[in-house]
Amino acid sequence: MEKAEYIYLDHNATTPVDPRVLEAMLPYFTEVYGNAASIDHEAGHMAMRAVEAAREQCARIIGAADPKEIVFTSGATESDNIALFGVAEKYADKGDHIITCVTEHKAVLDCCKRLEQLGKRVTFLPVDQYGLVDLDELRKAITPRTILISIMFANNEIGTIAPVKEIGAIAREYGVLFHTDAAQAVGHVPVDVEDMHIDLLSFSAHKTYGPKGIGGLYVRRRNPRVKVAPVIYGGGHELGLRSGTLNVPGIVGMGKAFEIAGQQMKADAEKYREWTRTMYEQLCEQLGDVALNGHPTQRLPHNLNVSIKGIESKSLVVQLKNIAISTGSACTSATVEPSHVIKALGFGEDRAHSAIRIGVGRSNYQAQLHEAIISIAQAVRRIQQLI
């Protein structure tokens, strides 16, 4: 596959590792290869120092006061599991009720469904046409037995950014912990766990030009001190919350990726916002009946999700041999179900089946995006002629 011929527009799914990140990681595969928990010798100390430096970089990008509030995991999915199951177990004496919303990532929804099977009560809040929860409904859903609110920072499909600070303030007012899955947000938009009253926050490296298989969970240590029961046992690593030998190269890479993101996030966001706006306008100009999914302004700058009337998005993706975009449908082995996110917006299954997600990033440039829009429009017309 020739890179010059291939246009990657699925940066919400994953991003290529930045060359600067790879460069930072390489020594920790062959030169600094100690176990960060083996601190009886210099090899282990060197690895530990690299891990702690990366912990500081991760804390800095989310505004955490103490690097010790960062627990390294394999990614946001594991972090979500630790947050939900860990809080449910640790605060069982206080309550058994959790609040989330219907458009969460499956990593949260599936945890909540399992918690229901274990006897917990879960409220799944609806969203409006833009994918936002009603803050008054959130307030009404809180009970004396509510222990956790889990609402994602930015939606992975439609890019809508939640009113995180307001949700955090409500949670704090009622003495309820607030967790947010911020995998799509960290390194792309400003995140401040102190200002936004966030108690637990999940993140991954591979959404921000870092390596796959590494992520973290922010766990607040003061005002309030959050207690989380371990989900993985065996050695007491990461303050006993997540045992297992640390992935030192991955951790170093994630720290470097977030350091880079902190330096160029603002400039990147301005560029990507202009790109996605232009692409939407071009799609409307060429195809006419194109609907934007998600909030028109309160959204990730690098995300564009649209529904194109009269097509099945899966068919469109198949037509685009040299362009990587994703559909709004989740495929199983037997059926193609419409996206639970877009379906929740209230527009019906047709709009969900015709949704495509475009995610721009550092591997793109403007002329390439124009070429992609022309190819998408041509493919849509071919499909429409067959209907």
Catalytic center residues: 331
- CA–CA distance, 167 with 176 (Å, rounded to integer): 11
Vertex 262: Cα angle to 261 and 265 (nearest 5): 65
Rounding to the nearest 10 degrees, give the CA dihedral for residues 117, 144, 107, 320.
Answer: 120
Contacts of 110 (CB under 8 A, 6+ apart): none
DSSP string, 229-244: --SB-SS-TGGGTB-S
- CA–CA distance, 220 with 227 (Å, rounded to integer): 9
- CA–CA distance, 332 with 337 (Å, rounded to integer): 8
Helix ranges (H only) for 193-307 are: 248-287
- CA–CA distance, 54 with 50 (Å, rounded to integer): 6
- CA–CA distance, 108 with 78 (Å, rounded to integer): 10
Contact 123, 99 (CB under 8 A): yes
Of the candidates 63, 53, 345, 19, the one whose C-alpha atom is nearest the C-alpha of residue 218 is 63
Contacts of 334 (CB under 8 A, 6+ apart): none
How many CB atoms within 10 Å of residue 289? 10
Beta strands 70-73 and 215-219 are: antiparallel
Burial of 335 (0-12, 13-18, 19+ CB in 10 A): exposed
